[in-house]
Amino acid sequence: MFKQLSLLDKDQVKTLKDIAESSKFVDGKISNPHSRVKNNLQLHDPAAYEQSSKIMLDALMANREFLDFAFPQHVAPPMITCHKPGMNYGLHADSALIPLPSGPIRSDISCTIFLNGPDDYEGGALRVTHGEASMRFKGTPGTAIVYPSYTLHEVEKVTKGERLVAISFIQSKIRDVMKRNLLYEFNEVAALEGLNMRHENYTRMQAAQYNLMRMWME
């Protein structure tokens, strides 16, 4: 399942764009030296990375929709990347393990946070495939899309302007996507409709929700 989040306000987006503007970017291959498809730039300035990733990490961990949907166990600090005209990130699968200073995390969910808007660049859609079908995303500034890391996906070539986003990877407490989505749906419907039920039935349903989480959470 895919989820679009309203993550950052205008001021946060501006701060992040200011950081990007005044920071050094390097060839994205620095973190994937063997990739034949990665053709973008990524932020390469420790202080700027620390400051920008904290804003986005804090926003993710304060976002109810994200917490309810992703059941995050570990979240990689979001990294700002940039595609200029001619750049793309060809079709690929995300690595199962994402190295972090604190040790590797498993990527269950991938996340793109949009800092530039669809009017700021041409091309550059994030295309996520699902078998022979695919979905294309170009979010407005401050929104994010989370999607399963097991998908093959790509960033289409930017033909004009600049695509500025941040990317992150999430290890979920619920590794199995089917179980995670089922719990999300169950919890959502219970939250929206539960109070219309008779109290004793609501209590029993809540016990079922908690017990599924006990069974499935790592």
Ligand X SMILES: O=C(O)CCC(=O)C(=O)O
Which positions lie near ligand X, rule CB under 6 A? 81, 89, 94, 112, 126, 153, 155, 165, 167
Cα–Cα dist 62/89, whole Å: 30
Cα–Cα dist 186/175, whole Å: 17
Q: How far is the CB of 143 from ligand X (least distance, A)?
A: 12
Strands (E), the chain: 3-6, 25-27, 38-39, 41-43, 72-75, 79-83, 88-92, 97-98, 105-106, 109-114, 121-123, 126-130, 133-137, 143-148, 153-155, 158-161, 163-172
165 interacts with, out of ligand X, Fe ion, none, CB within 5 to 8 A per kind: ligand X
71 interacts with, out of ligand X, Fe ion, none, CB within 5 to 8 A per kind: none
Nearer to Fe ion, 12 or 28 (CB): 28
Cα–Cα dist 181/139, whole Å: 22
Nearer to ligand X, 121 or 184 (CB): 121
Q: Per CB under 5 A, which region of 54-62, 92-100, 136-144, 186-194 contacts Fe ion?
A: 92-100
158 interacts with, out of Fe ion, ligand X, none, CB within 5 to 8 A per kind: none
Cα–Cα dist 84/123, whole Å: 10
Q: How far is the CB of 125 from ligand X (least distance, A)?
A: 9
Nearer to ligand X, 170 or 183 (CB): 170
Q: How far is the CB of 114 from Fe ion (least distance, A)?
A: 15
Task: Centre a 10 Å sphere on the Cβ of residue 39 and count the other Cβ atoms it contains.
Answer: 19
Q: Which residue is nearest to Fe ion (CB)?
A: 94
Nearer to ligand X, 94 or 108 (CB): 94
Which of 5, 40, 94, 174 touches Fe ion by CB under 5 A? 94
Is there a contact between 125 and 161 (Cβ–Cβ < 8 Å)?
Answer: no
Is there a contact between 55 and 123 (Cβ–Cβ < 8 Å)?
Answer: no
Is 108 near Fe ion (CB under 5 A)? no
> Could you tell me the two tokens for 153?
């996906």
Task: Centre a 10 Å sphere on the Cβ of residue 187 and count the other Cβ atoms it contains.
Answer: 18
Q: How far is the CB of 161 from ligand X (least distance, A)?
A: 15
Q: Which residue is nearest to ligand X (CB)?
A: 112
167 interacts with, out of Fe ion, ligand X, none, CB within 5 to 8 A per kind: ligand X
Cα–Cα dist 110/150, whole Å: 9
Contact set with Fe ion (CB under 5 A): 94
